[in-house]
């Protein structure tokens, strides 16, 4: 699961992760970052309550033995391009993107910090994102779904809004709170706009631990993988009309499964993967 031949990893979380009873997928993140020697940088740009979010994660990571957790405040492009941001990332063993409104993370796209994250990921950095912070890790991020965002059944261009992402997991389109919010139509709609990308829908308290070529499923829910590489897609005359879509492959992967991104194939993996 190496990225560029390195041990760098992405922990991509579907949101609402356990932050108390053993800390679940966050425990894996803390361990990957170095445990008691970890230096975690929190990027809370997506949330409107950064102080509250930072305090909550500080409590969790402290309970997991992590002694160094610091916020990297980024409210605009100048912050994302600053020497202070560069220095903070150079010292980090792990970076964590909080949830919130993913559109706020667009200010990081194409910035110096974006380039640095790619470089450091290739050199062993661990990067995690939850909810909004998860979808931003793909080359394209899902920004919303308009009126159909919560449970709409139609697959159409109007069912999803997308924008450029950070490109740390370029072969995927990532959606979150997936089963809980009925987002299969939204992800299908996104995949029809870019069929070469794998659609990855992650349930709450569930994550994928990913490298360049494969990922492992962790947590209590399911990861849904949509593969439209060999599908037939016929877009309708208007954005509101349904899209014609044949031969999409759907894989449902609970904890203990792995997925080969290059070969586009799932398999039963290590039994310990529940957390």
Total residues belonging to the chain? 275
Annotated catalytic, 204? yes
Q: How far apart are CA 235 and CA 214, in angstroms?
A: 31
Q: Which fold has domain 9-264?
A: Rossmann fold (3.40.50)
DSSP H stretches of helix in 43-149: 50-63, 77-80, 83-91, 112-121, 132-135
CA distances from 100 to 27, 46, 176 (A): 21, 5, 12
pLDDT score at 191: 97
Looking at residue 248, what DSSP letter applies? Answer: -
pLDDT score at 145: 87
Q: How far apart are CA 226 and CA 174, in angstroms?
A: 10
- What are the counts of helices (DSSP H) followed by strands (DSSP E) for the chain? 7, 17
Annotated catalytic, 189? no
Measured from the Cβ of residue 260, the count of other Cβ atoms closer than 10 Å reads: 12
Q: How far apart are CA 16 and CA 130, in angstroms?
A: 8
Pick the catalytic residue from 17, 27, 111, 131.
131
Roughly how many angstroms between the first and final C-alpha of the chain, as a whole number?
18
- Angle made by CA atoms 178, 182, 188, in degrees to the nearest 5: 80
Strand partners for 267 = 258
Name the residue ranges covered by the structural domains of the chain. 9-264
pLDDT score at 58: 97
Q: How far apart are CA 255 and CA 205, in angstroms?
A: 11
pLDDT score at 101: 98
DSSP track, 124-166: T-EEEEETHHHHTTBSEEEEE-GGGTTT----SGGG-EEEE--
pLDDT score at 21: 72
Pick the catalytic residue from 17, 27, 71, 204.
204
Annotated catalytic, 235? no
pLDDT tens digits in sequence order for the chain, 275 residues long:
333 335 699 999 999 999 987 779 999 999 999 999 999 999 999 999 999 999 999 999 999 999 999 999 999 999 999 999 999 999 999 999 999 999 999 999 999 999 999 999 999 999 999 999 999 999 999 999 854 444 456 899 999 999 999 999 999 999 999 999 999 999 999 999 999 999 999 999 999 999 989 999 999 999 999 999 999 999 999 999 999 999 999 999 999 999 999 999 999 976 544 55
pLDDT score at 269: 77
């Amino acid at each position: 699961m190496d990225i560029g031949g390195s041990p760098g990893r992405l922990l991509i979380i579907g949101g609402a992760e356990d932050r108390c009873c053993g800390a679940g997928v966050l425990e894996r993140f803390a361990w990957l970052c170095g445990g008691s020697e970890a230096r975690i940088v929190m990027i809370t740009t997506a949330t409107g309550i950064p102080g509250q979010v930072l305090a909550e994660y500080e409590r969790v990571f402290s309970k997991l033995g992590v002694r160094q957790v610091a916020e990297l405040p980024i409210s605009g492009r100048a912050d994302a391009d600053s020497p202070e941001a560069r220095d903070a990332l150079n010292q980090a063993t792990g970076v964590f993107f909080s949830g919130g409104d993913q559109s706020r993370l667009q200010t990081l796209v194409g910035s110096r910090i974006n380039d640095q994250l790619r470089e450091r990921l290739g050199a062993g950095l661990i990067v995690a994102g939850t909810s909004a912070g998860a979808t931003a890790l793909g080359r394209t991020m899902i920004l919303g779904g308009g009126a159909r965002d919560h449970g709409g059944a139609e697959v159409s261009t109007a069912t999803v809004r997308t924008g450029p992402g950070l490109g740390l997991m370029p072969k995927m389109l990532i959606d979150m709170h997936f089963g809980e919010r009925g987002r299969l139509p939204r992800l299908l709609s996104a995949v029809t706009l870019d069929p070469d990308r794998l659609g990855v829908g992650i349930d709450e308290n569930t994550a994928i631990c990913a490298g360049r070529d494969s990922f492992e499923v962790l947590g209590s829910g399911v990861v849904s993988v949509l593969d439209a590489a060999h599908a037939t897609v016929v877009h309708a005359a208007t954005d509101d009309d349904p899209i014609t879509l044949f031969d999409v492959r759907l894989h449902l992967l609970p904890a203990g499964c792995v997925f080969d991104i290059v070969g586009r194939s799932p398999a039963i993996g290590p039994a310990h993967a529940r957390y």
